[in-house]
Amino acid sequence: MAPSSRVLKLTVSYDGSRFIGWQRQAAGESIQSLLETALARFEGGPVTVHGAGRTDAGVHALGQVASAVVTCPHDTGVLCRGLNAQLPADVRVLSVADAAPEFHARFNARSKTYRYLLRNGPLASPFERQTVWHVTDQLDHDAMVLAASMLTGSHDFAAFRSTGGSVSSTVRTLTRSDFGVERNAALPGVDPEAAGRLLTYEVQGDGFLRHMVRAIVGTLVEVGRGGRTAASVAALLDGGSRSEAGATAPSHGLYLVSVDYD
């Protein structure tokens, strides 16, 4: 009798600095391929792992969620420890759980939360070079807060979508779009004026287009620099094109924070 299948739900955290992204590709090391290789040793055969979000090269994750159909009988705790024993130190499986037979990490996701970090000041720590975008220009934080708040609700985000990939609609709903200042983010031994501030942009929505969060951040930074008004960001949601929005922010400041399910 063939062994019965089960669906695993994995919560994964990773430093995306050296990876080509989540998705398996012909060349380069991806998070997906690492997890599939590690799970295959328990399964005794190939395993396909589906991620909730296909993070790009250099993007990090605090709580990526993945699913896989397997037949191996190992306890979830054993699987979690065994996977981490095989994975590199910059990828950690935080938990493994048995899920409902119909569970799919991507298709069943109700919302995702992303965070973007910016160091705004003359000086940044070398340890932040792959985890934070360093912006030396003085930014108008209040203007960025106002512009970010205009993005909540259901809108057409075509102006914030990079080319590539296919979607049936560019309308998305954001339930949060908040700019803030991280507390206790001073650099040790550095004059606070030189270190500036660590700014955070946190956004939650029912889905995101390709490079959407990074395009939003790049546009908000233009607002902060005085290159555009906060009102111009709202105008982009009314039929604006990608060329009218700001540049795409670097990937290394972006984090997939969490994925929510019903």
Q: Which of 142, 258, 253, 130 is nearest to 198 (CA)?
A: 253
- The residue ranges of every structural domain in the chain are 6-99, 111-261
DSSP class of 189: T
Name the pLDDT band for 166 (thresholds 50, 70, 90): confident
Q: Which residue has the higher pLDDT, 178 or 240?
A: 178
- Are 91 and 234 spatial neighbours (Cβ–Cβ below 8 Å)? no
CATH topology of domain 111-261: Alpha-Beta Plaits (3.30.70)
Vertex 136 angle, CA 130 and 138, to 5°: 135
- Are 105 and 48 spatial neighbours (Cβ–Cβ below 8 Å)? no
pLDDT of residue 2: 58
What are 110-160's pLDDT values in tens digits?
999 999 999 999 988 899 999 999 999 999 999 999 999 999 999 999 999
What are 44-101's pLDDT values in tens digits?
999 999 999 999 999 999 999 999 999 999 999 999 999 999 999 999 999 999 999 9
Confidence check: pLDDT of 212 > 60: yes
Residue 59: both structure tokens together: 């993007």
Q: Alpha-carbon distance 14 to 206, whole Å? A: 22
Q: Which residues pair with 199 in a beta bridge?
A: 118, 181
Q: Alpha-carbon distance 215 to 235, whole Å? A: 15
Q: Determine phi and psi for 39, rounding to 5 degrees.
A: -70, -35
Summarize the confidence of residues 153-171 as an average pLDDT.
Answer: 88
Q: Do domains 6-99 and 111-261 have the same CATH topology?
A: yes
Residue 199: both structure tokens together: 């700014």
CATH topology of domain 6-99: Alpha-Beta Plaits (3.30.70)
Summarize the confidence of residues 181-208 as an average pLDDT.
Answer: 84
Q: Which of 23, 51, 32 is nearest to 91 (CA)?
A: 32
Clarify whether 56 is annotated catalytic: yes
Q: Alpha-carbon distance 112 to 95, whole Å? A: 18
DSSP class of 128: G
The per-type count for the chain, helices as H runs and strands as E runs, is: 6, 10
- Are 160 and 209 spatial neighbours (Cβ–Cβ below 8 Å)? yes
Catalytic residue among 56, 90, 140, 238: 56
Q: Alpha-carbon distance 257 to 116, whole Å? A: 10
